[in-house]
Structure formats: structure tokens, C-alpha cells
Structure 1
Amino acid sequence: MKQNLTMLTDYYQINMMYAYYRNEKMHQDVVFDLFFRKTPGKSGYAISAGLEQVVEYIQSLSFTEEDLQYLHDSCGYEKAFINLLRDFKFTGEIYAVPEGTVVFPHEPIVRVKTSIFEAQLIETALLNIVNHQTLIATKASRVVESADDGMVMEFGLRRAQGPDAGLYGSRAAYIGGVQATSNVLAGKKFGIPVKGTHSHAFVQSYPTEKEAFDVFAETYPDNCILLVDTYDTLGSGVPHAIETFRKMKETLGDKFTHYGIRLDSGDLAYMSKEARKQLDEAGFPEAIIVASSDLDEYLIRELKGQGAKIDAWGVGTNLITSKDSPALGGVYKLVAEEEEGVLQPKIKVSENPEKVTTPAYKKVVRFYDKNTKKALVDLVMLEEEQIPDKDFIAFDPVNTWKKKKVHNFEAQELLVPIFKEGKLVYDLPSLDDIQAYTKEQKQRFSPEIRRLVNPHVYHVDLSEPLWELKRDLLSQAKKENNGLG
């Protein structure tokens, strides 16, 4: 059953809806763009996520009688407005980039065209859903990138900022490339593989470490990963694990195959190398070593650089909270409004150049090199513009002297139809398909753009007609608001 999140909105959204209703403006068509101004943390890109939950939200929009009573009693809206909300449903158009798409600042990743009455209500929930899942998918992508071929598991539920952040954070992390989660509810709801070992308390609950290991191995002979740092990692933990492995091999022979140890403290590079020696010398080269303990992409990269013998990584707090960058600053801005039956471009002006919006009903086109299949540039264009079919010059919309000739290319529109006239027209892919798409997408960008620190800046440029429109509207807005028009 889909959750009804209709009331998951800011108070001022409904206040504005009421004002539109009172002033006969509620049916006016508008276009809003959802985008972000800066990639999270030190990342050179982001991974779009959350579209499936956006679809569920839009399909479930409906005020309950309890909702309406609350709005009437607590907010003082008149009954005619309340009755109007009783029949509320989304009737407009939504375009978005598919989940797993590599995206960049200042390009629309969701575009909404509908009445201002509807567009205003859905703003907060769309931002909540897309900001969170895009943030965590991006963090997960970077963690997976740092681990190269190593398995990455998301272990963050207990440190997530609440149940929903843990649940949908697991989903987003899977989109970003993790291979499993410890979150059983996420496994049930989304089909993500679940993995886990045991805690220190399990070891402490038995008279000896060796007895705890034997019990666990006998209970889980097909997945025997033993936590070895409860007392003395190299002095007792690994030796006792080896004794348990010998016992299981004697009992099960070649049927005892998936086993190993988990390190959760200490110098993981040193501990893993020493543990690997002990395991190999004891005749267990196939035993894997799993590491946890406050890992992130930077520490994993450092450990790998120091020759750590770690096969799999359990990443918790720093992933599920995106600890170094705990929020994606996605925004939802009006870019066009109907006037006398025609959509007119709108611009928001700011003293901060980063906050000046790009006006108009737009599309986003990505250009790839025909030979290498690598992405060259993204171009934000007016919807009615023709996509270039021959060489063209792309230029930086701020530093306009920075130019790039784009040739020998193939083009792809990024925004695809999700809803038309309020009806879902998009086939939602499986989560596994989204994860595979993310991996394929990332490979279409150079390693320099995916670099963990000081990544190469990928260009998102404006078409010349759109750039000129923005410049003219900016100049016009300045004149009118300074009394010069």
C-alpha cells in the first residue's frame, strides 16, 4: 500500500494555494524546474534518485477528511477552499531524468508543468524525496568507486536520521552501487540482498570466544563471517577463528566454502595484512576479510593504497548520513507562467550569481563522442529548439570566453515523460535495472570527473538562444525593479 504524503508540505504552500484561490489565479499554468546548485561534498557529479517515490507520491495525492478537518480547524481556511481540496488530484505534466542518471548543477532533473495551484503543493515533497535519495546515491557511488572491485555493504540503519532515512537511504545506496544492506525492511520492500555477521555481544554472551565462534559457524555454515576483535584481534580472535574453520572443514569438507572474518577496530591496514598472513599460513587462503568501523570513500582509498588485505567493506554512518555533506541543496523554481494563453519565461534575480535562475520551458541534451561513447557536454536548451546535428560551439554561460567545439557526437535528451495530463506514462524499472544503469552511466564519464578529490569540472552550458533570453530578462528585471523601465 502506497503511503499518503499529501500533507507532507510546508504551511506556506497551502497558504499560497489559498491566496491563488481567493484571487482567481489557481488555474494559471506554470513551469517549475527542480535542480541543485552544487554537487554534494567534493564530488564532481551526482546520481539522480527517488523518482519511483515521486511517482508513488503523485499517484497517492488526496486529502483525507481528517486532513481537511485539521486544515479547517487549525489554519482557518474557509469551507469553500476546503471543499476544493477534497477533490484535489494532480492533472499536469512531469518530466524527469531516469533514476541512476549522472547529473550536474544547474540542469533540471525534474520539470513540472501544471496549474500553479497543483505545482505549489507538490514542491516540498518532491524536494524532500529527490534531495535525500540523490544525496545518498551519490555518496554510495563514491564509496563504491573507492573500493574498486571490492564488495560494499550498507550498514547504516542504526545511525540514520530516522526510519525513513534508513529505509530509503538503503534504496538509494543500492542505486549508487552497494551490493547489500543490513536493513531487513529494505531487503523485504525493495528486494535488496541482506547481509550481516554478528555483534560483540554475541561473543560476550558465551563463556569463551572459541565457543561463540563454534556456535555461530554450526548455525551458519554457508555464511560464516566471524567478528574477531572482541578481546584481542590477532592474539585470540583470528587464531580462534582458524580453529573454528578447521573444525568446520573436518565436518563439512569442501561444502564449507563461504567463510571469513570481520575487523571492526584498530589499524585496519595493519590488522588485515597480519590476519591475512595467519589465515594463509593456516591453509585458509579462501577465507575473506570484511572491514567495518567508520569507513568512507577517503579511508577506503587510503587503506587500499596501503595494501590492506580487505575483500569487502561494511560502510555505515558516513554513508547513510552522507556525513561530510549531509544535505543536497536542491531547489524548485518557477521558470515560466501562462499569460494570455502563452507560457512566458520568468527569471529570479539574486545578488548571488549562483542563485539567478535560468528561465523558460527547457530541455537538457547530453552529447557523447561517437567513437569513445564518453560524455562531452550537457546543453540546456529551449524546448522548441532543434538539437544540433552538426558541429557547434558550446560556451560557459558565466565565463563566456571559455568555449568548446563539439563534433562527431550523438545526442540524448535527458528528461523523459513521467506524467501527462495527470496519468503515469512511464514504466518504472526494477531496482536492479536502475543499479545497472547507474554503473553504465558512470562509465560514460572520464575518471577525472569521477575523481574523489578535485574532480575535473564537467560542462553544463546554455544554448545561445537561451543564454540571450536569460541575459535580456535579467536586464529587464533590473530596470523594472530599479524604476528604470
Structure 2
Amino acid sequence: MYTNALLTDLYQLTMMQGLFFEGKHNQPCVFDRYYRTNPFKGGYTVVAGLEHLIDYVQNMHFSDDDIYYLKSTNLFKESFLDYLKDMHFTGDIYAMPEGTVAFPQEVLLRIHTTKDESLLLETAMSMIMNHESLIATKARRVRTVAGNDTLMEFGLRRAQGMSAGVYGARSAMIGGFNGTSNVLSGAKFGMPILGTMAHSWIMSFPSELEAFHAYIRQYPNNLILLADTYNTLKQGVPDAITVFQEMKDAGTLPKKFGIRLDSGDLAYLSKEAKKMFDAAGFPDVIISASNDLDEFLISELKLQGCAINSWGVGTHLITAEDSPSLGGVFKLVGQYDGDVFVPKIKMSDNAEKISNPGIKNVYRIYDRESKKMKADIIALEGEKFPTIKNLQLVSDKTPWRSRVIYANSFDVCPMLQPIFQKGKLVYHKPTLAAICDYADEQIQTLWPEYLRLVNPEEMWVQRSSKLSKLRNKILQEESAKFM
């Protein structure tokens, strides 16, 4: 049986073999994972995928079938394949917890291990965390405009594969959704599963009213009726009112009941339906909507005064339709020559692609009174920012801009937590419910201007002075080689 050890790009394995025969495969090194631009032209990214990554790392090994396949390619030598048979992760990983709000250039994950283990991890790790962070971020944008309305993830049938659908549903929960239609995700992750009925149910009976009656007989406590199969206002809503009244008279009407709209002018139909339900004595009715929704359409519908209080969001969420990838990268930031750590930098003609060298952490500055974020500092591991002194911030992009955060007005929080130490998991994996609560708390630390869908404010993120000096020193030394 093939394992996920083969879930990598060919060049990772060929580089591993090359380093093996060069005697560099076991060289200790440090890699950073970060991204360069927020997705959806937004003001932040929500970190997700860590639990999936942990599972991958814990089960990373090569099976006999893996080795046999690699041998059949005629690209790999016997001694290297023998070496792979016993390979497993032996290093350290530090990461921002799932649900953390992050920003471009920040270290989201840091790996201390050998060159070959780092290379083997890169592709799968990037795929997992790029995708799941992308969906969590999209979901949070939807939650931002939906307020306290119910949000249901409906994207499985439009997902780009099983893994995208299953883990995308989990990521949507981290982003603020209430549940999913995806039964497998519900089983794997303990998520609430939600759903109503399809138009085919309605069309399976001689009339819509009979279809409603049949559904109520089977599911009297899951009472959301699909009301747009034939004519929403002339038939669907009146038929729903009929069955709701019958149940009310019989004393069997549940606390939660309502309709779903899946087509037409959702603003107009929901407002007219609400008038009809109010007139019939059902002011607490749920009006749910689906049909290619995203954060922009939900925002527009709310501006138009729609009466919708429950949303099923599918295609545009699960595919991250308007920003289908998160450009996360994985860069070597240092390696050991004997006992000496040597910082490394990736240079480029594109300034934004020049990496930050050295072993780093992200230090988040919170306003002590409001508990809101003030700034993030990318700094060398172990740097201190005492709260009893004024904190001077100078913008990397515009060094003529600066600001002072006054002493005793702020708190400092290092954002990376140890996940693996010497190959052993040391991180206590929180429940999904705890992750969702933490994600909600994180988003509350952002000022409203960072949550705008269009042209959001940019969080103040800068390098520490020590990191900047190290970076400039290495850049000058490397540049001098070409003079």
C-alpha cells in the first residue's frame, strides 16, 4: 500500500538523494513557512490545518510498496532506498495555533530538523496549511458580514476532491460556521451536521403539500422546508404555512422551523415570505437561503433588508472562488556547520521575495486597555520587548513613518508554540470547539477597519532592529560577491 510519504514533488526526493550522496542529508537546519499576500485582497489570514499536519508528520514513513515504486522509476539508487525504509520525523516544529489571525511575511511555522526531513515535509505541509487556511479565511469573511445568523457549509459536491471537501468543512468551522452538510466531516471531527431536502424530494410526491406532510412524518424536528420548487410565494410559502398551522394546532410545532430558498430574488422573496409568515402568526420562522452565496452577495442582501437569518454557503466557499490559492512558501533560514548556526537568506530581484534569515518568532503587541492588536514584530528568537519601556516602531516599507507605543500600555505575546520536540508530539491538540472559540477571540482583537471586505487597513508588521541588521549584513555580504 502506498503511503503519504509519496505525497511530494519529485524534486524533493531527487534533492534528498543528492544530499544523501553528498553527505549533507543529515545537516541540521531551520526552515520557515510564511506567505506574502493576504488572500481575497483582505486584511488578514486565519491559520488552519495544523491538526492535519500533525497527523501527517506522525504517520510519515515509507512502505515496502513505496520503496518498490521508487525503485521502478530507475531514478533512485539502492542504498538511498534502503535509507528511506527507516525514515521518520525526528525534529522540532513550532507553529501558530489554528484559528490565529496572521499577516504577510510572518513566520507561521518553523521547522528544526535535518535537510532531508525538511524537504520531504515541504510539499505536503504547504498543501495542507495553504488550503485549509484559505478556506478558514474565506469562511471568516462570510461570518463577518453574516453577524449572528446561522452559517451552514454546503460545498461538498462542488469541492475539488474528497480531501478538499472534508478538511474544507473543518476549516469553515474554524472560520466561524455553525455546521456542515458533510457527514464524513461531522463523523471525523465531531462537527454538527445540517441539512434540509432536495427539490427531488418535493417532485417525488403528487403535490408539494403532500411532500411537506411526508417529510414532517419522517423528520418532525428538522423542519426546514424547501419552498421554491414550483412557485415560492403562490405555493411554497402558503403550503409551509398550512403545515406549520396544523402542527401548531396539534401542539407538535418545534421551536425551530422555517423554509429554505434556493433560487430567485432572495431579498424580495424573503421579505415577502416574512410578511406572510408574520400575518399567519409565525414571527419566529427561520428563512434560510442558498444559491451561490458569498460574503459580497450576503452583504448586499442584508443592505437590501432581506429577511434571511440562515445561510447555506457552498461553491464559493469550498473552492475559494475569488482567490483559489494561498501563496505560502517554505524557505531555508539557517543551517548548522558543526555547532555553529549560519543564517541563510534567499535573494531576489523582487524585493518582496527576499527572505528573513535566522531563527525567529512573531511577537504580537496588544493594547492593554482595549485588548486589540496594535502591531506585530518579526524578531529573532529570544528578543525581549519590555512593557515598562516605550516601544518605538519604524515601518520597513516606509522608514520615514514611525509610531510610539507608550510604556505600560501594551502587552506582548509570542505567537509560535512548540508542536514537536525531537520527533515527539508535545502539543496538546485542542478540540475543534476550543479552536473555534479561540478563532472567535482572535478576530475580536482586530479593529473593524481590518475586517473590511474592500480596501482593508494593513496591519503594522515589521522586523525588529536586530533582525533588520542581520538581514542587511547578509545582503551586503552576498551582494559583494558579484561586485
The two structures share one fold, judged by TM-score above 0.5: yes
Mapped to 2, the partners of 1:180 and 1:62 lie a distance apart of 34
Measure the CA separation in 2 of the matches of 1:241 and 1:256.
14
Structure 1 residues 75 and 304, CA gap change in structure 2 (3 angstroms): farther
The residue correspondences of 1:432-443 to structure 2 (distance < 5 A) are 432-443=433-444
Q: After superposition, what is the alpha-carbon deviation per residue over 1:275-310, rounded to whole angstroms, capped at 9, x for unaligned?
A: 000111111112110011111001111111111001
Per-residue deviation, 1:394: 1.4
Moved more, 294-303 or 399-408: 399-408
Distance 1:384 1:289 in 2: 53
Q: CA deviation at 1:388?
A: 3.3
CA-CA distance at 1:255 after TM superposition: 4.7
Asked if 2 retains the 8 angstrom alpha-carbon contact of 1:217 and 1:248, the reply is: no
2:480 aligns with 479
Percent identity between the aligned chains?
48
In structure 1, how many angstroms separate the alpha carbons of the residues matched to 2:367 and 2:376? 12
Corresponding residue for residue 209 of structure 1:
208
> Which of the residues 335, 338, 350 maps onto 2:336?
338
Post-superposition offset of 1:320: 0.7
Give the corresponding residue for 1:141.
140
Which residue pairs with 1:280 in the alignment? 278
Question: Hey, what's the Cα distance between the residues in 1 that align with 2:384 and 2:255?
Answer: 58
C-alpha contact 2:196 2:224 (8 A) present in aligned 1: yes
Of 100-109 and 382-391, more deviation after overlay is shown by 382-391
| TM-score of the aligned structures, taking structure 1 as reference length | 0.97
Q: Which residue of 2 aligns with 1:455?
A: 456
Written as runs of structure 1 = structure 2, the 5 A alignment for 1:231-246 is 231-246=230-245
2:154 aligns with 155
- Selected match of 1:260 from 258, 261, 283: 258
1:13 aligns with 2:12: yes
The equivalent residue for 1:468 is 469
* Per-residue Cα deviation, 1:403-444 (whole angstroms, up to 9, x for no partner): 121221111000000011111110000000000000001101
1:350 correspondence with 2:348: yes
Paired with 2:160 and 2:361, the residues of 1 have a C-alpha distance of: 35
Cα separation, 2, equivalents of 1:431 and 1:384: 31
Tell me if the contact between 2:244 and 2:253 (Cα under 8 Å) persists in the aligned partners: no
Amino acid in structure 2 at the alignment position of 1:6: A
Q: Is the 8 A contact 2:3 2:63 kept in 1?
A: no
In structure 1, what is the equivalent of residue 413 of structure 2? 412
For residue 398 of structure 1, report the CA deviation from its aligned partner: 2.4
The 3-state SS of whatever aligns with 1:347 is: coil
How far residue 88 of structure 1 moved from its aligned partner, in angstroms, is 0.2
Cα gap change, 1:183/1:376 in structure 2, threshold over 3 Å: closer, same or farther? same
The answer for the alignment partner of 1:318 in structure 2 is 316
CA distance in 2, matches of 1:426, 1:165: 25
The answer to whether the aligner puts 1:386 opposite 2:387 as a matched pair is: no
1:421-440 aligned within 5 A: 421-440=422-441
1:183 aligns with 2:182: yes
Q: Per the alignment, in what secondary structure is the counterpart of residue 167 of structure 2?
A: helix
2:32 touches 2:108 (CA, 8 Å); kept in 1? yes
Letter aligned with residue 470 of structure 2: L
Q: Does the aligned pair in 1 maintain the 2:106–2:362 contact within 8 Å?
A: yes
SS in 2 for 1:143: helix
Conserved? CA contact 1:364–1:415, under 8 Å: yes
Deviation of 1:4 after TM superposition, in Å, equals 4.4
Equivalents in 1 of 2:67, 2:269: separation in Å? 60
Taking the aligned partners of 2:110 and 2:255, their CA distance within structure 1 comes to 51
Q: Which residue of 2 aligns with 1:28?
A: 27
* Selected match of 1:301 from 299, 302, 313: 299
Shift of 1:254: 5.5
Letter in 1 for 2:67: L
Counterpart contact for 1:226–1:262, Cα < 8 Å: yes
For 2:421 and 2:127, the matched residues in 1 are separated by 22
- SS of 2:40's equivalent in the other structure is coil
Deviation, 1:194, is 0.5
RMSD of aligned alpha carbons: 1.1
8 Å contact kept, 1:4–1:57 = no
Q: How much has 1:104 moved relative to structure 2?
A: 0.5
Aligned length: 479
* C-alpha distance after superposition, 1:83-108 (max 9, x if no partner): 11011011111000010000000001
Matched, 1:226 2:225: yes
Distance across 1 between alignment mates of 2:90 and 2:356:
25
Q: Distance in 1 between matches of 2:254 and 2:89?
A: 56
Name 2:193's counterpart in structure 1. 194
Tell me how far apart the structure 1 counterparts of residues 87 and 118 of structure 2 sit (CA, whole Å).
12
1:72 CA displacement: 1.2
| Alignment-mate amino acid for residue 55 of structure 2 | E
Distance 1:219 1:242 in 2: 18
Does structure 2 conserve the Cα–Cα contact (< 8 Å) formed by 1:17 and 1:120?
Answer: yes
Unaligned runs of 5+ in 1: none
Q: What residue is the counterpart of 1:250 in the other structure?
A: 249
**Gaps in structure 2 of 5+ consecutive residues:** none
Deviation, 1:387, is 3.0
Asked if structure 1 preserves the Cα contact closer than 8 Å seen for 2:47 and 2:129, the reply is yes
Partner residue of 1:85?
84
Aligned-partner residue type, residue 232 of structure 1: N
CA distance in 2, matches of 1:201, 1:342: 68
Code of the residue aligned with 2:292 in structure 1: it is D
Q: Deviations over 1:434-458 (max 9, x none)?
A: 0000000110110111111111110
Secondary structure of the equivalent of 1:336? strand
Aligned 8 A contact 1:347 1:357 in 2: yes
Distance in 2 (CA, whole Å) between partners of 1:339 and 1:402 is: 39
Deviation at 1:475, TM superposition (A): 2.0
Cα distance in structure 2, aligned partners of 1:105 and 1:144: 22
